[in-house]
């Protein structure tokens, strides 16, 4: 009721209302060639999918985004992908999309619940599909261009289901991926996630991974934002693991108002803004900034970033760490930033 009263008085004052966020993945996609290729693939035109991946060239962040979206499509409609694989079984892009598709299905099989709330059947599906993804990723690695890191990103992703592989092969896969693309966002995001405490690593390992690449990367690179995500992981584990209540939210907010935390995160944001960001991860980087500012109680800065994000959005990982769902968290923070 209080929200409606505030809206009524804003209406009477003649104040302009911001556009309410819409969680529309299609309209949030700022890559017209990818949108068109995806739509044509739905009708069986795998050549369009091949072309849009190849057109990304050596922009590995853009290529990774295009592979990811096409693999998501293949997870629900794979006819075009298997037609492509039958026509060109050694096409590196097709094999990579197949590996990513299997990884997507593995994540869906497990679900997003904690280990305690995940069934043995879910874990079994997760492990089987991750193993299938690892096998196809090995083939993608053999077919990859000399500097393409993306099959190594996919292989790292399969290690969430394979503790032995994390112990035996993590360094080998991570090092080769970094040799190919030293500041690759997805590679380092996957690595710091594998090294975080909830996956058997530690806070120190996670922060070292995030800060190392953020320090080495040039201004504007998406990887510069990874320490923000490391702080989200840390706060979630330390102050709200398994809970999303008003009490835990207050604890998270106390953490993000610490002077030393704000000093560090402000530094990384300034470095990112000092360069030219890659559009492929622009929404993710901006959303992490909006999340940080919201948790830190910095309303004006949060609103400015929400305005940059725009009306159409797909909430990225992080919002659901602090609120009961990503869309709910994004909307709550947006409303607070806009005084609604």
For residue 127, what pLDDT is reported?
A: 85
Contact 46, 11 (CB under 8 A): no
pLDDT of amino acid 29 = 93
CA of 329: how far to CAs of 244, 290, 293, 297, 323, in Å? 11, 11, 13, 15, 5
pLDDT of residue 164: 84
- The pLDDT of residue 115 is 67
Place of tokens 């030393």: 260
At residue 165, the pLDDT reads: 85
CA–chain centroid gap for 152, Å, is 17
What is the predicted pLDDT for the residue at 8? Answer: 46
What local confidence, expressed as pLDDT, does residue 108 receive? 83
**Closest C-alpha among 151, 155, 130, 153 to residue 142:** 151
Query: What are the extents of the domains in the chain?
Result: 1-30+224-340, 31-181
Q: Enter the DSSP assignment of 247.
A: H
pLDDT score of 14: 55
Residue in 185, 184, 126, 180 with CA at minimum distance from that of residue 158: 126
> Residue holding tokens 């940059």?
308
Give pLDDT, residue 59: 97
What count of other Cβ atoms lies within 10 Å of the Cβ of residue 208?
A: 14
For the chain, the farthest-separated pair of C-alpha atoms sits apart, in whole angstroms, at 65
Query: What pLDDT shows up at residue 159?
Result: 94
> Can you give the pLDDT at residue 7?
46
How wide is the angle at C-alpha 170 spanned by C-alphas 167 and 174, nearest 5°? 165
Residue 274 CA to residue 276 CA, distance in Å, equals: 7
User: Coil, strand, or helix at residue 31?
Assistant: coil
For residue 289, how many other CB atoms are within 10 A of its CB? Answer: 24
Q: Which sign does the torsion angle of CA 315, 316, 321, 322 carry?
A: negative
How would you write the pLDDT of the chain (340 residues) with one tens digit per residue? Answer: 445 445 444 544 556 668 899 999 999 999 999 999 999 999 999 999 999 999 999 999 999 999 999 999 999 999 999 999 999 999 999 999 999 999 999 888 776 666 666 777 776 777 899 999 999 999 999 999 999 999 999 999 999 988 888 888 999 999 999 999 999 999 999 999 999 999 999 999 999 999 999 999 999 999 999 999 999 999 999 999 888 999 999 999 999 999 999 999 999 999 999 999 999 999 999 999 999 999 999 999 999 999 999 999 999 999 999 999 999 999 999 999 999 9
Among 62, 23, 30, 40, which Cα is nearest to 150's? Answer: 62
Count of C-beta atoms within a 10 Å radius of residue 326: 19
Helix, strand, coil shares of the chain as percentages rounded to 5? 75, 0, 25
**Residue 237 CB coordination number (10 Å):** 16
H helices present in 115-257, as ranges: 120-143, 150-157, 163-180, 185-194, 203-216, 226-240, 246-256
Contact 269, 229 (CB under 8 A): no
Residue 312 tokens read as: 């159409």
Contact 21, 328 (CB under 8 A): no
Contact 40, 48 (CB under 8 A): yes
Q: What is the rounded distance in angstroms from the CA atom of residue 117 to the CA atom of residue 241?
A: 13
Pair 81, 74: CB distance under 8 Å: yes
- The tokens describing 165, both together, are 């592989």
Structure tokens at 130: 């991750």
Provide φ and ψ at 247, rounded to 5°.
Answer: -65, -45
């Amino acid at each position: 009721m209080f929200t409606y009263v505030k809206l009524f008085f804003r209406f009477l004052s003649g104040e302009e209302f911001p556009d309410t966020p819409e969680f529309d993945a299609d309209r949030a996609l700022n890559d017209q060639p990818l949108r068109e290729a995806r739509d044509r693939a739905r009708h069986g035109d795998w050549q369009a999918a091949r072309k849009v991946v190849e057109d990304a060239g050596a922009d590995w962040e853009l290529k990774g985004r295009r592979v990811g979206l096409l693999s998501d499509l293949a997870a629900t409609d794979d006819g075009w992908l298997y037609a492509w694989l039958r026509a060109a079984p050694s096409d590196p892009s097709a094999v990579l999309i197949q590996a990513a598709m299997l990884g997507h299905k593995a994540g869906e099989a497990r679900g997003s619940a904690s280990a305690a709330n995940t069934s043995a059947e879910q874990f079994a599906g997760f492990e089987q599909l991750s193993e299938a993804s690892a096998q196809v990723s090995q083939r993608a690695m053999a077919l990859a261009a000399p500097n393409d890191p993306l099959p190594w990103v996919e292989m790292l992703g399969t290690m969430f289901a394979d503790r032995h592989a994390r112990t035996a092969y993590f360094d080998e896969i991570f090092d080769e991926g970094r040799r190919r693309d030293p500041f690759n966002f997805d590679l380092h995001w996957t690595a710091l996630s594998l090294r975080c405490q909830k996956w058997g690593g530690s806070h120190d390992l996670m922060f070292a991974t995030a800060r190392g690449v953020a320090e080495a990367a040039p201004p504007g690179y998406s990887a510069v934002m990874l320490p923000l995500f490391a702080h989200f992981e840390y706060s979630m584990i330390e102050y709200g693991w398994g809970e999303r209540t008003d009490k835990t939210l207050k604890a998270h907010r106390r953490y993000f108002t610490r002077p030393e935390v704000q000093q560090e995160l402000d530094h990384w944001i300034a470095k990112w803004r000092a360069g030219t960001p890659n559009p492929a991860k622009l929404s993710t980087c901006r959303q992490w900034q909006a999340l940080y500012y919201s948790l830190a109680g910095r309303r004006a800065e949060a609103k400015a970033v929400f305005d940059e994000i725009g009306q159409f959005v797909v909430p990225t990982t992080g919002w659901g760490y602090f609120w009961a769902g990503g869309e709910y968290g994004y909307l709550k923070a947006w409303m607070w930033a806009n005084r609604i």
